[in-house]
Structure 1
Amino acid sequence: MKKTLTIIGKIIAVLAIVIVLFLAIVFLVNIVCNKMEQGKIESYGQFVTVDGKNMNVFIQGEGEETVVLLPGYGTAAPALDFKLLIDELSPFYKVVVVEPFGYGLSDETDKERITENIVSELHEALQQLDIDEFTLMGHSIAGIYGLDYVNKYPNEVSAFVGLDSSVPTLSEKEIGSSIIGTLKLLKKAGLARLQVKLGEDPYAALPYDDKTKEQMSILIHKNMYNPSQLNEAENMYANFRAAENLSFPKNLPVIFFIQADHKVTERWIPEHKKQIKDSVHGKVMTFEGDHYLYRTKAKEIVENFRAYMDEIK
């Protein structure tokens, strides 16, 4: 029995050493990669000063009408991620992608990521660029922020376009401080990088050029689980609740491009239809695809958006 316990003890000691060495290697590799990648990041867009910090804004196209694009939660490099959609929109519109704090090349911020602050910062960025009339087109969580924006600044937004956008009545689950703490540890230990490495590459089969894919990969590692995005996640449930009593202005044109088959809830299409039940120009269109419809259905989205805007004129 004593000999058996000694063997078991040695096995446990060896396993402990292996685990410690593995974690040390992951930690060091992450530090080295972060430093190397920092020098490979290429600038795109332009900085505007918002709340004393740099917010990155990308503009493409010279159309008379402006479309402002807002990303979904956690999109590492919005202006690059939206590239396929931007390329379809820009022959007809001036396309403006605003990268919120903690996203893309924008600075991080200590300011709480509540809807009020996020919307105020977006408004300030657009004011800096003298953009005061536009179509607001938003993906995912931008459906919550966009709903707040059109109510606060109704004279600026000429139409709202939801790209599989969030609905206040289908709230995200509350994320506790323990989960946030775990994600911070994963980031610091380098395990977040390993998580990405072992996961499926969402861009592998998509028609982005190699340079864009490389930059998005670098910015995923840079921005994943950063303090600004984690604070936004922590505030997400409250942001949904705060939007429950908001509705789109009756005369505001609203069109939703959403998944035909949502994997989590059967209420996805009905709840979007409820959002526009009182709208004079409300419409819901469905596509076969995942949550990131704009990556695979960019051409169809733009064609139908343009047709819709022509119809309501």
Structure 2
Amino acid sequence: MNKILKIIKNVVLVIIGVLFLIIAISYINHRIQLHNESALLTPTGTVVNVNNHQMHVYTEGIGDKTLVFMSGGGTASPVLDFKGLYSKLSDRYRIAVVEKAGYGYSETAAVSRDIDTILEETRAALTLAGEKAPYVLFPHSMSGIEALYWAQKYPEEVVSIIGLDPAIPAAYEKYPLPSELSMALTSFGARIGITRFFPAIVDSSAAIQENHLFDQENKIYRAIFYAKTQTSNMNEEVKMIVNNAQKVADGGIPDVPMYFFISNGQEIPLADWGNLLITYAESARNGKYMVLDCGHYIHDYEPEIIAEESMKYIEGLQ
């Protein structure tokens, strides 16, 4: 018996040793690659100091209306993710993409992810970058909650909300959120570079798959992905989303025009996702919706349709 226990103990020690070796090799490789990729990570827009951390705001185009693009939870590079859509709108409108703490070129910071803090940081970043309200908001996924709250709290700053498969409060009443343990493990894996052994993860992103980026931009997208996957700010957003959504639900449907572009829901782990969005849009003032047979990153899959419909809708609000 003692002999068997000794063998088991030795096997366990070997396994632990191998795991530590893999972690060490992965981490060292990750740090070397991050250093090599640092030259790619020069911000393309304006970096401003908000709440004692650096935030990045990308702008392009001219026009008498400013469209603000707000990324979904966990989108590593909002600026590049939205390019397929905003590049079709910037010849007529001013475009602004705000990268929240822990996203894109923005700094990962020890700041609360309650909805008031997120909103005030977004507004401050835009102001410091020289942008002025009112705005047309283009929220994707989780940031739908932020856009709705913005319209509730500062209706004079929001011309309209054009939702890109946007989340609404009711979705989080039963949305199957990841556990804190799974998020912690994923975040740990990303920080030590395990994600680099699975390049198919980043290469499967819609922005890359749909060929919206130049070769150099693909390299930048990958570099940002490896540096900003599952950051602490992204994790905190998930932990607080139910409370944030409830606060928005308590405020009712904001009195601003809305146009929701809704996916086929196949990538969403919620059976009635589409119906929830349709009901919400129908209840809004000047509400409208369009269901598109594509995945959740709807702006990457159908940018031409969304751009054309958005222009018609925005001009029709005058």
TM-score, normalised with respect to structure 2 = 0.88
The change in CA–CA distance for 1:193 and 1:113 in structure 2 (over 3 A counts) is farther
Q: What corresponds to 2:50 in structure 1?
A: 50
Give the AA of the match of 2:262. I
SS in 1 for 2:56: strand
SS in 2 for 1:95: strand
The change in CA–CA distance for 1:47 and 1:13 in structure 2 (over 3 A counts) is closer
In the alignment, structure 1 residue 276 sits paired with structure 2 residue 267? no
The change in CA–CA distance for 1:107 and 1:5 in structure 2 (over 3 A counts) is closer
Single out whichever of 232-241 and 298-307 deviates more from structure 2.
232-241
Q: What corresponds to 2:189 in structure 1?
A: 186
The answer as to whether partners of 2:259 and 2:289 remain within 8 angstroms in 1 is yes
Cα shift at 1:25? 1.6
Q: What corresponds to 1:22 in structure 2?
A: 22
The answer as to whether partners of 1:174 and 1:236 remain within 8 angstroms in 2 is no
Q: 1:193 and 1:30 mapped to 2: Cα distance?
A: 8
Q: 2:209 and 2:187 mapped to 1: Cα distance?
A: 30
The answer as to whether partners of 1:147 and 1:246 remain within 8 angstroms in 2 is no
CA offsets, 1:222-271, max 9 Å, x none?
Answer: 11122222222222222222222233333x21000011343433322221
Q: 1:36 and 1:90 mapped to 2: Cα distance?
A: 33
Equivalent residue for 2:262, pick from 251, 255, 258: 258
Alignment of 1:1-313 (within 5 A): 15-128=15-128, 129-171=130-172, 172-194=175-197, 196-197=198-199, 199=201, 201=203, 202=205, 203-207=207-211, 208-250=213-255, 252-263=256-267, 264-313=269-318
CA offsets, 1:25-55, max 9 Å, x none?
Answer: 2222112112222233232001123223321
Cα shift at 1:205? 2.7
The answer as to whether partners of 1:173 and 1:237 remain within 8 angstroms in 2 is no
The answer as to whether partners of 1:162 and 1:257 remain within 8 angstroms in 2 is yes
CA offsets, 1:119-151, max 9 Å, x none?
Answer: 011111223224111111110011000010001
Q: 1:177 and 1:91 mapped to 2: Cα distance?
A: 43
Q: 2:189 and 2:66 mapped to 1: Cα distance?
A: 40
Where do 5+ consecutive residues of structure 1 fail to align?
none
The answer as to whether partners of 2:202 and 2:222 remain within 8 angstroms in 1 is no
Q: 2:8 and 2:178 mapped to 1: Cα distance?
A: 40
Q: 1:280 and 1:70 mapped to 2: Cα distance?
A: 21
Q: 2:127 and 2:188 mapped to 1: Cα distance?
A: 38
CA offsets, 1:75-134, max 9 Å, x none?
Answer: 111111111111101011111111111111112221111111000111112232241111
The change in CA–CA distance for 1:24 and 1:301 in structure 2 (over 3 A counts) is same
The change in CA–CA distance for 1:204 and 1:312 in structure 2 (over 3 A counts) is closer
The change in CA–CA distance for 1:25 and 1:277 in structure 2 (over 3 A counts) is same
Q: 2:273 and 2:16 mapped to 1: Cα distance?
A: 47
The change in CA–CA distance for 1:215 and 1:258 in structure 2 (over 3 A counts) is same
Aligned length: 311
Where do 5+ consecutive residues of structure 2 fail to align?
none
Question: What root-mean-square deviation, in Å, do the aligned CA atoms of Structure 1 and Structure 2 show?
Answer: 2.5
The answer as to whether partners of 1:114 and 1:232 remain within 8 angstroms in 2 is yes
The answer as to whether partners of 1:248 and 1:276 remain within 8 angstroms in 2 is no
Q: 1:302 and 1:166 mapped to 2: Cα distance?
A: 20
Q: 2:68 and 2:12 mapped to 1: Cα distance?
A: 57
Q: Percent identity?
A: 26
Q: 1:101 and 1:8 mapped to 2: Cα distance?
A: 46
The answer as to whether partners of 1:174 and 1:237 remain within 8 angstroms in 2 is no
Q: 1:173 and 1:266 mapped to 2: Cα distance?
A: 11
Cα shift at 1:204? 4.3
